[in-house]
Amino acid sequence: MKNSKKQFSFKSFEQIYLVDRNSNVKYWFFGIMGFLLMILLLPWTQNIKAKGVLTTLYQDQRPQDIHSPIPGRIVKWWVKEGDYVKKGDTLLQISEIKEDYLDPRLVGRTQEQLQAKKGSIDFYEGKIVATGSQIEALQQSRKLKLEQLNNKLIQLDNKITAESAEITAANNEFKLAKDQYERQQLMFEKDLVSQTQLQQRNIAYQNALAKKIIAENKLAQTQQEVLNTKIEKNSVEQDYAEKISKAEGDRYQTMSQVATGQGEVAKLENQLSNYTIRNGMYILLAPQDGQIVQANKGGIGEVLKEGERITIIVPQVKNYAVEMFVRPVDLPLVNVGQSVRFMFDGFPAIVFSGWPNASYGTFGAKIVAYENTISPNGLFRILAIEDPKEKPWPPQLKIGSGAQGIVLLKDVPIWYELWRNVNGFPPDFYQIKADVNKDAAPSKTKK
């Protein structure tokens, strides 16, 4: 006991071992535990973190390569790197190097060839008209000639009719003379008539026979003339058909030459148009307003290939966007219209990912699109633009600068988020539904 009293008499022992005093540790313990419990009940915004770069939704606001439309040699530079140009300003002048286009009067000579070919077409068309007139004249002449021969055939038919009547009369007269001669001969044999009378009847018989023969010969001659006229008619038809066919052949040949000439005219017009347009390619103009950067070719006299990049023009961007890449496992959690917070390179920020409203230096955005195919880097590309309801993005932004994105998901308690991470569960899957009121923000509902 004596030793114990000596121990309690030490000042350090009295400061360390507070056996006889009341302790506040349990109050501190319960207070801290209550504070931690309150923290666990606070809301926490689930999110997806992703890296991205600044770009723009509109292709005409992205950096544009300026290529050489034709092979050529640099004559003069009108700009230098860093210059700001307006649409239509002259950037570069080049000259021709291909031997097919070295003639300084190439356009004029092609124009002369075109006019000459058009003149030859006019001559061929005139020949077509003349050949058509020749064909019409031949057809008219054939018609007249055939009408003449037809009239002759009609006349010959009439003549044959008359000669047939003459033959009939001659036959009748011949029969009568023959009968009289034969009776006179019988009477002579009976001595009823004299020999003189018999001879007279014989002469009349011979004259009738001669008339008959003459009439038959005339009819045969007329029939032969009819046959000759028909032959002549066929010959005329063949002759004129041959002449008309030859004229039509010449006409079709001339029409073919006209068609060939028209094709050559179209080809020359195409060449003339190409030469005229090519002459306008010797001066390269700025396609839009912007800044000239990365001029790859320099000096005077350097040769350019067709389609070779000469420089890049960076237009003034008015509609920035951020392209960021998320993992495939996070893609189902991303929806169009979803809110995103961005931290841009060069702008200080204090970020509380679970409490976006408490963060400083971040900028709001909305997702406008995501690609349905995976990118070569194994991630899915998402595009987000400035949220008009949030503060505007800084004007100092440039295309290509980096950005850190936080895609905001569902609001859950902190204890739930800790439990989810401990178990390795993904964030809650939900869809954004548009409110009936267009001015209201999209509501988040769990699916």
Q: Among residues 280, 300, 326, which one ends one of the domains?
A: 280
pLDDT digits (tens, 9 = 90+) for 141-163: 888 988 888 898 888 888 888 87
Q: Is 241 among the domain residues?
A: yes
**What is the residue-wise DSSP string for 365-434?**
EEEEEE-SS--TTSSEEEEEEE-TTSPPPPTT--TT-EEEEEEEEEEEEHHHHHHHHHHTPPPPPEEEE-
Residues 322-326: what's their mean pLDDT? 91
H or E stretch including 89? Answer: none
User: Residue 13: pLDDT band by 50, 70, 90 thresholds?
Assistant: low
Angle between helices 414-423 and 25-40 (to 10 degrees): 80
Please, how many CA atoms are within 13 Å of residue 98, restricted to the half-sphere of its CB? 13
Choose among 122, 119, 49, 130: nearest CA to 342: 49
Residues 190-200: what's their mean pLDDT? 76
Mean pLDDT of the chain: 81
Choose among 327, 305, 360: nearest CA to 73: 305
Residue 10 has a pLDDT of 60
User: Are residue 264 and residue 341 in the same domain, yes or no?
Assistant: no
User: Are residue 175 and residue 259 in the same domain, yes or no?
Assistant: yes
Residue 205 has a pLDDT of 79
Residue 123 belongs to domain with CATH number: 1.10.287
H or E stretch including 299? Answer: none
**What is the residue-wise DSSP string for 211-224?**
HHHHHHHHHHHHHH
Residue with the larger pLDDT of the pair 352 and 106: 106
User: Are residue 158 and residue 293 in the same domain, yes or no?
Assistant: no
211 SS3 class = helix
Task: Answer whether residue 133 shows pLDDT above 80.
Answer: yes
- Which region among 25-29, 221-225, 429-433 has the lowest average model confidence (pLDDT)? 429-433
Residues 165-178: what's their mean pLDDT? 82
User: Are residue 395 and residue 427 in the same domain, yes or no?
Assistant: yes
Q: Is 322 among the domain residues?
A: yes
Q: Is 321 among the domain residues?
A: yes
pLDDT digits (tens, 9 = 90+) for 235-265: 888 998 998 899 889 888 989 988 998 899 9
Which residues are CB-contacts of 303 (< 8 A; sequence separation ≥ 6)?
71, 72, 73, 74, 97
What sign for the dihedral angle of Cα 431, 439, 54, 284?
positive
Residue 173's domain comprises 106-280
Residues 155-179: what's their mean pLDDT? 83
Residue 306 belongs to domain with CATH number: 2.40.50.100
Residue 204 has a pLDDT of 81
Cα(201)–Cα(179) distance, rounded to whole angstroms? 10
Task: Answer whether residue 312 shows pLDDT above 80.
Answer: yes
What token pair was written down for 6? 């000596």
Q: Would you tell me how many other CB atoms lie within 10 Å of the CB of residue 177?
A: 21
User: Are residue 56 and residue 161 in the same domain, yes or no?
Assistant: no
User: Are residue 74 and residue 213 in the same domain, yes or no?
Assistant: no
Residue 18 has a pLDDT of 56
Task: Answer whether residue 266 shows pLDDT above 80.
Answer: yes
User: Are residue 114 and residue 243 in the same domain, yes or no?
Assistant: yes
Which residues are CB-contacts of 261 (< 8 A; sequence separation ≥ 6)?
117, 120, 121, 124
Q: Is 101 among the domain residues?
A: no
Cα(142)–Cα(261) distance, rounded to whole angstroms? 34
Cα(19)–Cα(117) distance, rounded to whole angstroms? 125
User: Are residue 173 and residue 263 in the same domain, yes or no?
Assistant: yes
Residue 270 has a pLDDT of 92
Q: Is 390 among the domain residues?
A: yes
Residue 361 belongs to domain with CATH number: 2.40.30.170
Report how many domains make up the chain: 3
pLDDT digits (tens, 9 = 90+) for 388-423: 888 888 888 888 888 988 887 776 777 777 777 777
Q: Is 2 among the domain residues?
A: no
What token pair was written down for 53? 């770069």
User: Are residue 303 and residue 322 in the same domain, yes or no?
Assistant: no
- pTM for the model: 0.57
Residues 9-16: what's their mean pLDDT? 61
pLDDT digits (tens, 9 = 90+) for 336-394: 888 888 888 888 877 766 666 667 778 889 999 888 888 888 899 999 999 888 888 88
Percent of the chain topping pLDDT 70: 87
Q: Is 99 among the domain residues?
A: no
What token pair was written down for 121? 């077409």
**What is the residue-wise DSSP string for 92-122?**
EEEEE--GGG--TTHHHHHHHHHHHHHHHHH
User: Are residue 393 and residue 413 in the same domain, yes or no?
Assistant: yes
Task: Answer whether residue 207 shows pLDDT above 60.
Answer: yes
- Cα angle 165-215-229, degrees, rounded to a multiple of 5: 85
Residue 86 has a pLDDT of 92
Q: Among residues 259, 280, 301, which one ends one of the domains?
A: 280
Q: Is 35 among the domain residues?
A: no
User: Are residue 387 and residue 428 in the same domain, yes or no?
Assistant: yes
* Residue that has been written with the tokens 């506040």 in this structure: 24
User: Are residue 294 and residue 276 in the same domain, yes or no?
Assistant: no
H or E stretch including 142? Answer: helix 106-189
Q: Among residues 297, 314, 331, which one ends one of the domains?
A: 314
User: Residue 9: pLDDT band by 50, 70, 90 thresholds?
Assistant: low
- Cα angle 298-301-302, degrees, rounded to a multiple of 5: 50
